[in-house]
Structure 1
């Protein structure tokens, strides 16, 4: 499951702004987004990932994604970076 991918990843960036930045800079290898996040927020990430031709994986929970990133709050988007 993708939560394990995040836990095992060497480097990640957490949050919508940082994920979009990593995509635009060509640093993102894969993006994970939470399905329960606000669609208007996730749409920006999805569009940037499509433009960068980076695979996107969806997970069910912002809370669990945040926990996998070792933060105390939910995360809408995470990028695994080079």
Structure 2
């Protein structure tokens, strides 16, 4: 499952705004976006990922991302940070 790496990551972002900031600062190693999230919410993030060559993993639901991040609410997006992947 694609979310296993996110579950095990020590450093990650949760939510579209925080994930956008990580991508813009070029510290995001991989971004996870929920397929059931509204494109109006995730569209800018997807564009930032393309512009910064950050890989995007699509997941089924926002609930899956939230659970993978250890929170009890839905999240449209999350990212593993490069420092956690040994890339920074």
Q: CA deviation at 1:25?
A: 0.4
CA deviations over 1:6-32 (Å, ceiling 9, x no partner)? 111121000000000000101000000
SS in 2 for 1:43: helix
Match of 2:85 in 1: none
> Structure 2 unaligned runs (5+)?
83-88
What is the TM-score when the length of structure 1 is the normalising length? 0.95
CA deviations over 1:1-54 (Å, ceiling 9, x no partner)? 122111111210000000000001010000000000011111111001011100
CA distance in 2, matches of 1:9, 1:73: 18
State whether structure 2 residue 43 is matched by structure 1 residue 46: no
Match of 1:72 in 2: 72
SS in 1 for 2:3: helix
